[in-house]
Amino acid sequence: MNVIWLDSIDSTNEEMKRRLKHQNSLKNFDAIVANFQTNGKGQREAKWESDYGKNVTFSFYFQPNNLYVVDAFKLNQAVSILISDYLKNLGVKGVQIKWPNDIMVNHKKVCGILIENTLLKNELLHSIIGIGLNVNQSTILSSDNSTSISNEMQEFFYIKVVVEELIDYLYKVQNFIDRPVLLNNRYLDLLLGLNEVRKFSIDGKEIFGVIIGINTDGRLRVLIDRKEQLFEQKKIRFLFE
C-alpha cells in the first residue's frame, strides 16, 4: 500500500488511470491524494467543488476478489457503508446514504463517490474509487444542499489525519463484499428515504413514491401508485425542499 500526495492535479481518478496506463505500477489499496483538483469529477458528469486544502479528495485503487459484473453494486454498497461508519465514529449525527452512493448528513451532501471499474469478461478486474469528502469548507457555492464535517461538528480537522483514518476503514471493503447479507442489511439501515414517502423527479416530472429496497443489480425499488418500479442510476432524482 502506498499513499501518493499531490499538491494539485486535474482529477485524482484521471491521474490514477494515467499511472495504470503508462506505469502499471499501482498495487491494491494504493491511494492518490490531492490538495486541490482543477477538474474534480462527480456523478452525472458533475464537477466536484472543493477549496484548496480544505477537503479530502482522493482516489483509492482496489482489486476485488471474485467480484462479478452482475454483483458490481456490492462495491458501491461497501464503500458507502465504510465511509458512513467512519463519519459516525467521528461523532457526526444524521449520517445516511442517498442511493446509489452519496453520503448525506441531515439530508445534506457531505461526500460524493465516483467508482470507475475495469472489466475482464464477466469479472471486475480493478476499480478506481474516487472520494470527495467535505471536511473544513464552510460554504459550497455550487450547492445549497451540501455540508461539511466541520460545519456539523464545529471543529477543525487535519486533512492528513482524516485521509489516513478513512483509508484504514476502506481496507475492509473486501470483507463486506464477501458478506452479502450483512452488506445489504447495513446498506438498507442507512438508506435515505427507505419506507418513507419522498418526492422524486422522473423524466422531468415531480412524483411521490416510497423506496422499498434495492434490486440485486443495484436498481432502486420504488413504490409509485401502489406499483413497484425499478430505476437505474440517472433515471430518478431525489428532490429536497
Q: For 61-69, what is the mean pLDDT?
A: 95
pLDDT averaged over the chain?
A: 91
Read off the pTM: 0.92
Q: pLDDT-derived band of residue 164, with 50, 70 and 90 as boundaries?
A: very high
Angstrom distance (rounded) from CA 71 to CA 118: 14
Q: Domains in the chain, start-ordered, CATH in brackets? A: 3-190 (3.30.930.10), 197-238 (2.30.30)
Over range 157-183, report the average pLDDT: 95
In order, the DSSP letters of 194-225 are BTSEEEEEETTEEEEEEEEEE-TTSPEEEEET
Q: What is the pLDDT of residues 113-150, one digit of tens each?
A: 999 999 999 999 999 999 999 999 887 665 678 999 99
Query: How does 183-206 read in b/e, with b if 16+ C-beta sit within 10 Å?
Result: bbebbbebbbbbeeebebeeeeee
